[in-house]
Structure 1
Amino acid sequence: MFKNAIVKKPGESMIYGITTANLGQPVYELAIKQHKNYVDTLKKCGLEVEVLEADENYPDSCFIEDVALLTKRCAIITNPGAESRKGEIKSIPDVLKKYYENIEYIKSPGTIEAGDIMMVGDTFYIGLSNRTNLDGANQMKEILRKYGYDAVFVPLKEVLHLKTGVSYLENNNLLVSGEFIESPLFEGFNKIIVPQDEAYAANCIWVNGHVLVPEGFSKTKEVIENLGYIVEVVDVSEFRKLDGGLSCLSLRF
């Protein structure tokens, strides 16, 4: 169960964020409304939500998940692989000190973004991507093992982050799409295959028995509902324009 979440408001500079989506420029005013609804949905799922103010110096900083991995035993500050995002980590330690005694750090030349890390109980799957290199993954694995966790590396071929294409919904249920459908690393899970035309919906988040699903993906929504979860549909269309999804917008712990 999660008790807390930390989010960061999008700034007006978000329109200059990194993207490969080719879906047009985000509309800031709509993004603000969507972000507030996202926060309200997390509260509906029973979380206390700390909302950090926007940082105009970093257009992608609303995607706060990437800058830290929060476990039950420690917080780990990452080192983003995107050069324009490295400064985002400066303000995070002071925020996390309110919640954690043990704070660890990934050091250069290692890079890692927590969008590449999926928690399954005491095992953390770490995607090796354009943003997460082997050095960063090895540092993360070493820190996790220090606190009694295990780590499994997952080479990525097509997607930006691991959780772009795979999401753990607890109870051994795993949303999978694209390159992960046949991956032997996920053989032991009850795989819920996301159709190719709804691939974006592979990024959902489980929060205390609820599953947040992006708006507009009815097939995926129905499958998740049929598994017995309470589905919360959330519109994040403006964040999708920046390659962002539901998980990217919060740290949940």
Structure 2
Amino acid sequence: MFKNVIVRIPSPSISEGITSADEGKPIYEKALVQHENYVSALTKTGVNVTVLGPVEEFPDSCFVEDVALCTSKCAIITRPGAETRREEAALPDMIAALKKFYDVIEYIEAPGTIEAGDIMMVGDHFYIGESARTNAEGARQMIAILEKHGLSGQVVQMSEMLHLKTGLAYLENNNLLVAGEFKTAAEFEKFNRVEVEMKEAYGANCIWMNGYVLVPEGYPNVQEKIEALGYKVLVVDTSEYRKIDGGLSCLSLRF
């Protein structure tokens, strides 16, 4: 069960966020409303939400998931692969927020790069995607830290998706949403794989929260498949975040 969530309000500079999508720039006012609705949905799942203020100099800083991995034993501050985001991981308010919940905070060091959007937690085991943002050294350091604390990790090679969780979502109870290259990945054969077609691939980035599943708005087939598994669904519009390669999981740290 998740008890706590950390989010960061987007700043007006969100329109300058990193993107590979060809969908125009996010509209700040709309992004703000969507963020408020996201927080409201999280609150419905029974968690305590810590809200950090906007940071104008980092357009992508609302995507807090990438800068830390929150485990049952420790928090691990990452070293983002996107250079414009690297200093986000050291923002004092984020470190202070994590210290309220964790006695132990670990750090990934150069030349390792890793973004937690590339890490999927399944119990005490962590799947780590080696991507354009997460290199082999970052993954090696992360696994070493996890093992030091009695947890485990393994590397997943990937070539198509931006982040591992761009195409995967673990919904607990052995249920795993899979899209794109992960449909045939050997690492996930033991799961009950719920396949998401490419036209709804963005919808694969859902988050399980205490029996609920937050699903992005506009992906009816994904929603239907999740409801068929017996989960309570909360639909959240993230269209402004999609414009800068962000999804539901990117917008929060959950622990």
TM band (smaller chain):
over 0.9
**What's the offset of the Cα at 1:90?**
1.5
What SS does the corresponding residue of 2:103 show, helix, strand or coil?
Answer: coil
Unaligned runs of 5+ in 1: none
Q: Which residue type is aligned with residue 227 of structure 2?
A: E
Aligned residues: 253
Q: Does 1:73 align with 2:73?
A: yes
Match of 2:183 in 1: 181
Deviations 1:164-205 (A, max 9, x none): 001100000000011000111100000000011101011000
What SS does the corresponding residue of 2:246 show, helix, strand or coil?
Answer: coil
**What's the offset of the Cα at 1:94?**
1.8
Deviations 1:141-173 (A, max 9, x none): 000000111111111110100000011000000
- 1:89-168 map, 5 Å: 89-91=89-91, 92-168=94-170
Match of 1:5 in 2: 5
What SS does the corresponding residue of 1:7 show, helix, strand or coil?
Answer: strand
Match of 2:63 in 1: 63
**Runs of 4 or more above 4 Å deviation:** none
What SS does the corresponding residue of 2:100 show, helix, strand or coil?
Answer: coil
- 1:184-199 map, 5 Å: 184-199=186-201
- C-alpha distance in 1 between matches for 2:159 and 2:168: 13
TM-score under structure 2 length normalisation: 0.99
**What's the offset of the Cα at 1:95?**
1.7
Q: Which residue type is aligned with residue 35 of structure 1?
A: H
What SS does the corresponding residue of 1:224 show, helix, strand or coil?
Answer: helix
- C-alpha distance in 2 between matches for 1:66 and 1:196: 24
Q: Which residue type is aligned with residue 182 of structure 1?
A: T
- C-alpha distance in 2 between matches for 1:115 and 1:154: 13
Match of 2:240 in 1: 238
- C-alpha distance in 1 between matches for 2:47 and 2:97: 17
- C-alpha distance in 2 between matches for 1:61 and 1:196: 28
What SS does the corresponding residue of 1:139 show, helix, strand or coil?
Answer: helix
Match of 1:38 in 2: 38
- C-alpha distance in 1 between matches for 2:139 and 2:182: 19
Question: Aligned residues: percent identity?
Answer: 61
What SS does the corresponding residue of 1:39 show, helix, strand or coil?
Answer: helix
**What's the offset of the Cα at 1:70?**
0.2
What SS does the corresponding residue of 1:97 show, helix, strand or coil?
Answer: helix
Q: Which residue type is aligned with residue 114 of structure 2?
A: I
What SS does the corresponding residue of 1:23 show, helix, strand or coil?
Answer: coil
Match of 1:215 in 2: 217
Deviations 1:57-80 (A, max 9, x none): 100000000000001110000000
- C-alpha distance in 2 between matches for 1:71 and 1:196: 31
- C-alpha distance in 2 between matches for 1:117 and 1:157: 15
- C-alpha distance in 2 between matches for 1:75 and 1:20: 29
Q: Which residue type is aligned with residue 21 of structure 1?
A: A
